[in-house]
């Protein structure tokens, strides 16, 4: 089995637009801005053998303020710019009560099944409480990238970070034991931590 880093998209990989304290995703390709340090952080994680899987809620499609085609175009562009293995999307809104919309863990569980990922040796990175809750429910250690809108009161992340580069440094700072170097399913980065459907759409796969 492989290890993975699950990544929220907006606010982790690309810049969000904050209006009245609420973050909003880019609406068009020309609004997409990959955040500083993201490409290098992903490269460092990839070199160490982590699969990189994006799990993103895009409820504006269900709300009628965004099109599925626009979301897929943005994701395809990210797939071209960044070393990502898969981008999974939930297009539902809260009222749909689906199994894939974070804080539910459905996207992570389905990706793990498809890709042979060991969730207990994997990480979830997000900028909101719903990301952390999804990672925790799936059995991953979680990192919260702190922002003014994070609102992570109901669930505690395993660690805090300033950005994805900081997350990568923390994950890779833990030493690997000799016997773990030969076992892809073992993740020494997890040792210091406490932890050990409705249709969802992968819109990009490497």
What is residue 165's three-state secondary structure?
helix
Instruction: State how far the Cα of 28 lies from the Cα of 73, in Å rounded to an integer.
Output: 8
What is residue 106's three-state secondary structure?
helix
CA distances from 85 to 43, 79, 152, 155 (A): 12, 8, 27, 28
- The active-site residue, picked from 10, 85, 127, 131, is 10
Structure token pair of residue 72: 């897929």
The answer to whether residue 85 is catalytic is: no
Q: How many residues does the chain have?
A: 206
The answer to whether residue 127 is catalytic is: no
| Residue carrying structure tokens 């993201």 | 38
Other CB atoms within a 10 A radius of the CB of residue 181 amount to 10
Q: Which residues are catalytic?
A: 8, 10
């Amino acid at each position: 089995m492989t290890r993975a880093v699950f990544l929220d998209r907006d606010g982790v990989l690309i810049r969000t637009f904050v209006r009245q304290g609420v973050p909003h995703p880019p609406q068009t390709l020309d609004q997409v801005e990959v955040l500083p340090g993201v490409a290098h952080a992903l490269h460092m994680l990839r070199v160490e053998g982590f699969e990189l899987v994006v799990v993103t809620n895009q409820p504006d499609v269900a709300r009628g303020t965004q099109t599925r085609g626009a979301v897929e175009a943005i994701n395809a562009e990210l797939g071209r710019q960044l070393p990502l293995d898969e981008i999974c999307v939930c297009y539902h809104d809260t009222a749909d009560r689906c199994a894939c919309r974070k804080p539910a863990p459905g996207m992570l569980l389905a990706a793990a099944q498809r890709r042979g990922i060991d969730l207990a040796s994997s990480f979830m990175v997000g900028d909101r409480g719903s990301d952390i809750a999804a990672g925790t429910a799936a059995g991953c250690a979680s990192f919260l990238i702190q922002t003014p809108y994070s609102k992570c009161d109901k669930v505690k992340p395993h660690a805090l970070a300033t950005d994805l580069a900081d997350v990568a440094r923390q994950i890779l700072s833990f030493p690997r034991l000799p016997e773990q170097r030969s076992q892809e399913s073992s993740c020494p980065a997890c040792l210091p931590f406490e932890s050990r459907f409705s249709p969802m759409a992968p819109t990009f796969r490497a």
